Amino acid sequence: MNKALSFYEEKILKYKANIEKLNYIISKLSILRLLIVGVAIILSYYFYKRENIISLIMSLILLFIIFIIIAYYHNIKINEKKEYEVYININRKGISRIKGEFKENEDKGEEFLKDEHPFVSDLDIFGRNSLFQMINSTKTKFGRSKLFKMLTLESIPTRDEILKKQDAIKELGSKVEWRQSLEVKSTLKKSGTKDIDELLKWAKSKNEIKPLFKIIPYLFIVITVMSVVLVILNVLPISYLILMFMINYLVVKILTKDLIPIIKLFDKHKKDIEAYTNLLMLIDNENFESIFLKDLKLKLKNNSKSCVKEMKELKKLVDWLGDSSSNAYYLLLNITILSDIFILRNLEEWRKINGDKLKKWLDIMGEFEALSSISNLSFDFENWSYAKIVDEDIVEAVDIGHPMLGERAVVNSFTLTSNEKVALITGSNMSGKSTFLRTIGLNLLLSYIGAPSCSKSFTCGIFSIYTCMRTKDNLEESISSFYAEILRIKILIEAAKKGEKVFFLLDEIFKGTNSKDRHEGAKVLINQLVNNKALGLVSTHDLELCDLEKTKIWLKNYNFQEYYEKNNIKFDYKLRIGKSKTQNAVHLMKLAGIDFSDN
């Protein structure tokens, strides 16, 4: 059995057993809390009837303390249960990845779909049944953004960068429990992937601390302390102290008139800050061996100052702000030591020191999240191989399969070199041509981001991937599917002419025109791409195009076939050398009810 599958199943059983134990404890604690309330009511009635007020008060205080302790312990157990439930969900998602049954995962990354991107839509990078849906375990906006940039190849990596990423992915793949902790902490505390630009805007803006903030609080604290002493000594009446508190409250409100929007800002992002602090703490406490991860973690320190310590300070200030708007004891602090002024001043000092670093810290945190998502593949598919990256224009695969098909994937071996620049793939409908094109494209992408490829071995050069597979009408722009295809081909040709090392995947090109134009256009396009040093795969139903192999030494024909059992069409999805010699269109038409005997 797959090692990862065993791990996930064992963890699920373990966490379910822990939840059963916790359910027992939680139910007993709930009953105990009710009993304490009942005892408090009975004792209150008993001592009240006997006019024993002291015993009534003492018993209520004692029971209240016991109730608070039990309630605190009760909440701890409830939170433990929630944590185990998240762990179970994470491990279930791992099983669904391995089996290729991840279509129900809620986060599909549909907002990242871009038809104009060179390959995103054609290779199913985002959306339903996509690579993103399969691997994503990010829970913060920054993690999602970093994963988006990685999966879209925002910049073409160098060989050295890919090799460093491979080491990082291998290491994170082995740290499965740490990666799951990263996901759990962000899931439990994070309030969503909402926009936090306003928080970052606050961090970047600068406000000088007013001199009044440095002098007035201490002056009024001294006056307040002296007033309390004088009232205790009966030098001043208590009404003077009350007046002093009222003045303090007024001073606080005047000096902190800007605090209300700040309270609202941090109240909105309190859970975010707590989640970010927890994630950065996990990263800071973990030891990494790979160069890439070490360097990434090192960026979280500034002059040996840990960002975790600074984030904890921000969290404390945010917690105080939350108390300021809801707790009675905080009001007492406010009118005696003018606490709001100190909080506002401390926030300004924190912002002055760390404000311009916050975005950098969160981006690095997001990169760890994104890398952890990609590392799911490393752990889940132990038989997959890491690509050998070479300086040659080559794609060579042994037993390569579609990464998202799980146990259903059919593997094939395939080679494309600088001598054989184009693979022309023919075959009947539904035989596997388009899936094979996506298989090659997806495994190239996985290799470039440092992930393992779905293959026994995979060797490739570094290319810019361009596809033209799915084109559709755009009624708003008055663009037909054929013209949309032309526009994508134009982008591909321009990239090749500019000197990019292009790897192209073309599926049934120029299908929106007549057979003669389609044949001639495909022939000219393939020649033009090869002349501009591009490599790639072309699938087609145009069998005449296969004749190019006779005159073009750089083109090789491949095909997929179908077979029949008891008049039922079957496919083995195995790639064969040579052009297709089978057709199934008429058979499929007959299945649709078209009767050829009428003619």
Chain segment 268-282, per-residue pLDDT in tens? 888 888 889 999 999
Q: pLDDT at position 412, please?
A: 96
**96 close to 102: Cβ distance less than 8 angstroms:** yes
- Tell me: the pLDDT tens digits for 384-436? 999 999 999 999 999 999 999 888 889 999 999 878 899 999 988 788 899 99
Percent of the chain's residues with pLDDT above 70: 81
Report residue 111 as tokens: 């907002």
* CATH number of the domain located at residue range(s) 388-598 in this protein: 3.40.50.300
Report residue 226 as tokens: 């002296």
Neighbouring C-beta atoms of residue 180, cutoff 10 Å: 18
- Tell me: the pLDDT tens digits for 107-140? 899 889 888 899 999 999 999 899 999 999 999 9
Tell me, what DSSP letter sits at residue 419? S
Ramachandran class of 284: left when φ > 0, alpha when ψ lies in -120 to 50, beta otherwise: alpha
Q: How far does CA 83 lie from the centroid of its chain?
A: 19
Point out the least confidently predicted range of 89-98, 173-182, 205-214, 393-402: 205-214
- Tell me: the pLDDT tens digits for 480-495? 677 777 888 899 999 9
Q: pLDDT at position 198, please?
A: 84
The model's confidence at residue 477, banded by pLDDT at 50, 70 and 90, is very low
| Distance in angstroms (rounded) separating the CA atoms of residues 560 and 423 | 13
Q: pLDDT at position 214, please?
A: 61
More confident residue, 220 or 419: 419
Most confident of 45-49, 145-149, 273-277, 540-544: 145-149
**580 close to 426: Cβ distance less than 8 angstroms:** yes
- Tell me: the pLDDT tens digits for 563-591? 777 777 788 899 999 987 766 555 545 55
- Tell me: the pLDDT tens digits for 227-265? 666 667 777 676 766 766 677 667 666 666 666 777 778
Instruction: Give, rounded to a whole angstrom, the gap between the first and last alpha carbons of the chain.
Output: 56
CA count, 13 A, side-chain hemisphere, 100 = 11
Most confident of 151-155, 512-516, 567-571: 151-155
Is residue 330 predicted with pLDDT exceeding 60?
Answer: no
Contacts with 156 (C-beta within 8 Å, 6 or more apart), sequence order: 448, 462, 464
User: Domain limits of the chain?
Assistant: 1-98, 115-380, 388-598
